[in-house]
Structure 1
Amino acid sequence: MSDRIQGTVKWFNNEKGFGFIAPDNGGKDVFVHHSAIVATGYRSLAEGDRVEFTVEQGAKGPAAADVRRL
């Protein structure tokens, strides 16, 4: 199992269903797709939300997985 990372949502486009998270460890921003958000109902994030997630290799580079609001 991958280590869980905490970070802050930099931006999230609800219409397109994706955005980026700035990890607390100072690494590069991580892509996040709405399908990676663990929530009931409409899955969305807002700028400034605090989240915890793992990183997986996506089709176009690193992507957040198992994203949970803190």
Structure 2
Amino acid sequence: METFSKKEKEKQRQKKRKDKQEKREDRKANAQKGQPLDQMLAYVDENGNISSTPPDPRRKRQINEEDIQLGVAKQEDEAAPDVIRQGVVTFFNASKGYGFIKDLQSQDSIFVHINALIDPINEQDKVSFSITRTPKGPNAIDVRKAV
């Protein structure tokens, strides 16, 4: 004995199967063999826009390879006038082992790791330190409490 809901579900399955078969036959009937190569090509103009017409060879420009910049610009090494700098610890988390020092000369915030400490430090301590450059930015090393 079939219930009403079973009959309805079976009708829906049959309808879905029939629709799928019709779509498949329609695709086969209307399928194109393919387009010629010149209709499939796309060109890029001098402004980087895609177009269907080939670029004008008279508008071609010569570009010097050395002028092309890839990635980040090279940073020039700054001569360190002060090997030892003075600063104030603005933040330090001893449990995580890192913090930041505000350089009194340049007012920059400089990262410091617990491995770079000579003396233990706390927030608001005045310290002296050296700076080393890393790919992520400047880091403080040889950090000592100022007397």
Q: Which runs of 5+ in 1 are unaligned?
A: none
Equivalent residue for 1:57?
133
Q: CA RMSD in A?
A: 1.7
* Alignment pair present for 1:21 and 2:101: yes
Ranges of 4+ aligned residues in structure 1 off by more than 3 Å: none
Task: Name the one with the larger helix percent.
Answer: 2
1:10-66 deviation line (CA, Å, top 9, x unaligned)? 010111100000011133100000000013xxxx42110010000001242100011
Q: Pairwise mapping of residues 1-70 of structure 1 onto structure 2 (< 5 A)?
A: 3-39=83-119, 44-70=120-146
* TM superposition score normalised by structure 1: 0.84
* TM superposition score normalised by structure 2: 0.42
- Rg (Cα) greater in structure: 2
- Indicate the SS of the match to 2:115: helix
- Indicate the SS of the match to 1:35: helix
- Indicate the SS of the match to 2:108: coil
Q: Which runs of 5+ in 2 are unaligned?
A: 1-79
Q: State how many pairs are aligned.
A: 66
Task: Name the one with the larger strand percent.
Answer: 1
